[in-house]
Amino acid sequence: MALDDETLRDAASHRGLKLIKSRKRKAGVGDYGLFGLVDNAGKALFGVGGDGLTATARQIADYLRKGEASTWAESAKVTPARARDEAPERRASSDDDTPPPSAIKPRPRRSERPAGQSDRAPKPAAKSMPPEPEPAPRKPSSKPASKPAQRLEVESEKAPPPAVLVIRKARPADADAIRVLMTDIGFAGTKQEMARALAAATARKEPVLVADRDAVIGVLVWHIVPTLQVGRIVRITAIVVDENERRAGIGRALYEAASDEWAKRKVTIIEAMSEIAVRNANGFFRALGFEQASYRFVASA
């Protein structure tokens, strides 16, 4: 099923439901880009929470696809089996004891046959056939005997396996894909500026991590901050996942891969930065076990 709004709306309508979409027009604000399902009476069925809509386009499509399968299964359970027609002779009344007339005609007695006619019909005279010529002896062939043709098995067409998610270090060729992802959190630079930023992070031995599944769909940026009071702190300055791939464990996979690298650096505290307006990001960090420990004040230089 395609994941555009019109296709999802038609699929919901065919099942007697109504698709609703967030009214937010700014990325990262509220339930921007999310959907929900209600029935014709306006009762919430899926993807509708107290703070707004919560379901992605893919989750809506999965819900409608499951609903279609369950509806088919229920209809199969209640469909009565077709009764087989009884044989005509079984439908005859049991009160009628008269046997049905036989379809086999009796043979006439000898006394009823015309005189001179025997019981058996005379056999026709056999026709004489000319003898068949003997086949000429076959010459031995000099060619080696051919091998029997091998049976060709045609494999049934199978759907390609789903792409594997890979967490890896960012490369220079990923600069534009990372730039597009980070526009959701305010990055307004060019592809060349992003390429220079990636090169600088690699030079500091703080490589940017990306989630790759046939394309870059997530990014995590971090830095080491030395402090006097608590030692080395690792600070997550950006973690972004493509809008159509969220709530699928990709952000957690990025965090866990980065944690292995941080353990080698012997950091004491992991610190995350998140915009207050981006509620989804705040909830994500809390789900990872982060707690709000301080206020962050900023000023333009």
Q: For residue 35, give the 3-state DSSP assignment.
A: strand
Q: How far is CA 124 from CA 119, 121, 127, 128, 130, in A?
A: 16, 9, 9, 12, 19
Residue type, 53: L
Pairing of β 52-53 and β 231-241: unpaired
Please report how many Cα atoms fall inside a 13 Å half-sphere around the Cα of residue 300, on the Cβ side.
Answer: 0
CB-CB neighbours of 35 under 10 Å = 26
pTM for the complete prediction?
0.46
Domains of the chain as residue ranges with CATH = 5-72 (no CATH), 166-287 (3.40.630.30)
Return all residues near 17 (Cβ < 8 A) that are at least 6 apart.
37, 38, 39, 40, 45, 64
Q: Among 80, 76, 72, which residue's Cα sits nearest to residue 15?
A: 72
| Residue 176 predicted with pLDDT over 70 | yes
Cα of 300 vs its chain's centroid, Å: 47
Task: Select, from the ranges 11-20, 40-49, 243-252, 276-285, the one with the highest average predicted confidence (pLDDT).
Answer: 243-252
* Residue 276 · residue 66 · CB < 8 Å: no
DSSP label at 68?
H
**166: pLDDT confidence band, cut at 50, 70 and 90?**
very high
* Residue 232 · residue 224 · CB < 8 Å: yes
The pair phi, psi for residue 115, each rounded to 5°, is: -65, 140
- What residue has token string 């353990």? 263
* Residue 35 · residue 45 · CB < 8 Å: no
Rounded to the nearest integer, the mean pLDDT of the chain is 76
The partner residues of 48 in beta bridges, in order of sequence, read: 53
| Residue 69 predicted with pLDDT over 70 | no
Q: How far is CA 157 from CA 2, 160, 162, 164, in A?
A: 22, 9, 15, 21
pLDDT of residue 152: 46
What are 281-284's contacts with CB under 8 Å, separation 24+?
281/28, 281/239, 284/239, 284/251
Average pLDDT over residues 34-56: 85
Q: How far is CA 174 from CA 3, 27, 54, 170, 193, in A?
A: 25, 22, 30, 6, 12
Report how far residue 23's alpha carbon sits from residue 26's, in angstroms, rounded to the nearest whole number. Answer: 9
In tens, the pLDDT along 136-155 reads: 666 666 665 555 555 545 45
